[in-house]
Each structure stands twice: as structure tokens, then as C-alpha cells.
Structure 1
Amino acid sequence: MKILKVFIILFFVISFSELKSDEVNDILKHKILKNIRCLICQGQSVYDSESEFASSIKLIVDRKINEGLKEDSIYEFLREKYGDWIVYDPQLNKNTYILWLLPLLLFLLGGAIMKKKLKFRN
């Protein structure tokens, strides 16, 4: 009788751990798909798009997650295949310095202009 109880407990533990694993994979999949641009639809993520391209990317991401790849590895795979533009949040590299530094430079320039204007008023 004790053996039967042990098997029942093990069954529930294993089934709940598999459910949690599937839930974690779904959350990761949705996160990745929301951060990937659909190359067919203007301004839509793959998560929101219904195009054939988006459907194929959804399958690829799902397959890569099932293979055990991490989020960064999947992004790197997609960047190699489709270029940096496919990811909404590009990495900092020699091609994207201006993209990352321009908002900071504009903020500093605006602050300097405001300081100069306020200085002349006093």
C-alpha cells in the first residue's frame, strides 16, 4: 500500500513539473515573438502578425525552444539568418552606436540649450 502511495505522489510531482516546464516555455516563446519584427508586415511583431513569414518564425522559435536553446541563442540565430533589423531591441555594436547614442546626445544638447536660455534670462 505504501508503494502505491509513493507512485501516486511521484506521478503528481512529475506531471506538475512537466506542466510548469511547458508554461515556462510558452512564456519564453511569447517574449521572444513579441521582440521579433515581422519582415512582411510594417510595424508588427511576429506575435501579432498572421503572415506566412510570421507563422514560419513561430514554428522556428518553438522548435529552437524545444531543442533547449536559450533566448540569446535564438536571437543570435535569427540575426544571422535575417540581419539585426529583425530584433526590436538591437545589440550595441559598431553598426548601432548611433542608434543607442543619439537619444543621449539629443538629451544633453537639449539640456545645454535650456541652460543657456535660462542663463540669459537671469
Structure 2
Amino acid sequence: MKILKIFIILFLATSFFELKSDEENDVLKNKILKNIRCLICQGQSVYDSESEFASSIKLIVDRKINEGLKEKQIYQFLREKYGNWVIFDPQLNKNTYVLWLLPLLLFLFGGAIMYKKTQKKNEK
């Protein structure tokens, strides 16, 4: 009887860990799909799209997650196959410095202009 109880506890414990793993995979899959651009539907993520391209990408991402690939490895695979444009959040590299630094520069430049304007008003 004790052996039966041990088997039942082990069965329940392993099924709980499998469910947790499936939930983690679904969360990771959704996170990745929301960050991939649908090449058919302009400006729409694969997660939101119903196109054939989006359906095939969903299957590819699901298969890659089941193969044990990490998020960065999946993004790298998709970049190699479809180019950097397929990812909504591009990496920081020599081709994207302007993309990442331009908002900061514009913010600093605008702040400097506002500071000068307030200084001129205070002087008058």
C-alpha cells in the first residue's frame, strides 16, 4: 500500500512539473511572437496576425522551443533566415547606433533649447 501511495505522489508531482513547464513555454512563445514582425501584414506582430506566414512562424517558434533553444537563439535563427527587420526590437550594433541614440540626442538637444529659452526669460 505504501508503494502505491509513493507512485501516486510521484505521478502527481511529475505531472505538476510538466504543466508548469508547458506554461513557461507558452509564456516564452507568446513573448517571442509579440516581438516578431509579420512580413505580410505591415506593422503587425506575428502574435496578432492570421496570415499564412504568421502561422508558419508560430509553428517554427513552437518547434524551436520544444527543441530546447533559448529566446536569443530563436531570434538569431529568424534574423539569419529573414533579416534584422523581422524583429521589432533590434539589437544594438553598428547598423543601429543611430536608431538607439537619436531619441537620446533629440531629448538632450530639446532640453538644451528649453534651458536657454528659460535663461533668456530670467535675464529680462
TM over 0.5: yes
One-letter identity of the residue aligned with 1:69: L
**1:101 is the counterpart of 2:101:** yes
Residue 120 of structure 2 corresponds to residue 120 of structure 1: yes
CA distance in 2, matches of 1:80, 1:93: 15
Superposed displacement of residue 46, structure 1 = 0.1
Q: Runs of 4 or more off by more than 3 Å in structure 1? A: none
Q: Percent of pairs identical after alignment?
A: 82
How far residue 42 of structure 1 moved from its aligned partner, in angstroms, is 1.0
Instruction: Quote the Cα distance in structure 1 between the aligned partners of 2:81 and 2:105.
Output: 32
Matching residue of 1:34: 34
Paired residue for 1:25? Answer: 25
TM-score, normalising length: structure 2: 0.97
Say which SS state the counterpart of residue 48 (structure 2) adopts: coil
Which residue in 1 is equivalent to 2:55? 55
Q: Residue 45 of structure 1: SS of its match in structure 2?
A: coil
CA–CA separation in structure 2 for the residues paired with 1:11 and 1:117: 71
Counterpart-to-counterpart distance in 1, 2:105 and 2:80: 30
Q: Distance in 2 between matches of 1:16 and 1:121?
A: 67
Does the alignment pair 1:75 with 2:75? yes
Question: Please, which runs of 5 or more residues in structure 1 have no aligned partner?
Answer: none
Structure 2: 5+ residue stretches without partners? none
Counterpart residue type for residue 75 of structure 2 = Y
Separation in 2, partners of 1:34, 1:73: 16
Q: CA deviation at 1:54?
A: 0.3
Match of 1:16 in 2: 16
Residue 73 of structure 1 aligns to a residue whose secondary structure is helix
One-letter identity of the residue aligned with 1:95: N
CA distance in 2, matches of 1:29, 1:95: 27
